[in-house]
Amino acid sequence: MNTPTLLIIEDDDFQYEIYEDALSRYELIRVTNGTEALNHIRNELPDLVVLDHVLANGELGLDFLPTLKELLPFVPVVIVSGALEVHQQLQALQGPRRAHYVLTKPVSINALRQTVSTALKECGEKELVRQLESLERSHRTDALDLFSRSTDRLGRQNAILDQLKKATHKPNISGLAREYKVSRRTIIRDLHELIRRGQLSLHVYPDLEPLDEGGFG
């Protein structure tokens, strides 16, 4: 398995030494500002980005975040900075071009290692795959529920049809609703469908209540 590559956007030498020590299990590539980062990722895509806010040449990391996420939509971004206000941290974690994590300096070595490890395992493309799988499961569940309700409805309608064939007088709609544990409206809808399909003659229920617009017709 290839060693993940981390792009470290950090201008402070001491801070980068901390990264070298804490993240030695990964391949680190360092740039000191956002402009260098954009030039680099056009040639080589990292597996994760660690982004500082105050960078060399007066550049600010958050100014580059939208472009980074546009170029690296499935690459997790971890912001590590001591220069962000709370509202800036929240802003960085929101929206379609957001960072996945924000850590404040001085950063805990254990927290940094754990965050990077989790981001590589859970974020980016893997996150997208989980979302698609969840959506697929949701659609499958909806389809099964629809099929189940459709089967129940057809079974109830066939049972009602059998009753009407044997009945000597017009059954009570409220009574049918109680028997099948559904609403009167559902029974009326069933009768309309039986008549529409030609399984039940309209003269059997000449005074059948109409379905209002927006109902089950």
Domains of the chain with CATH codes: 5-123 (3.40.50.2300), 135-204 (1.10.10)
Are 93 and 99 in contact, with CB atoms under 8 Å apart?
Answer: yes
Helix, coil or strand: residue 70: helix
Best-predicted range by mean pLDDT (30-39, 141-150, 179-188):
30-39
* Tokens read off for 14: 């001491």
Pairing type for strands 27-31 and 48-51 reads unpaired
- Which DSSP state fits 202? G
Q: At residue 215, what is the residue type?
A: G
Q: pLDDT tens for residues 41-69?
A: 988 899 999 999 888 999 988 888 889 88
Entry pTM: 0.56
* Tokens read off for 22: 């804490």
Spatial CB neighbours of 176, under 8 Å, sequence gap ≥ 6: 160, 163, 187
Confidence of residue 102 (pLDDT cuts 50, 70, 90): confident
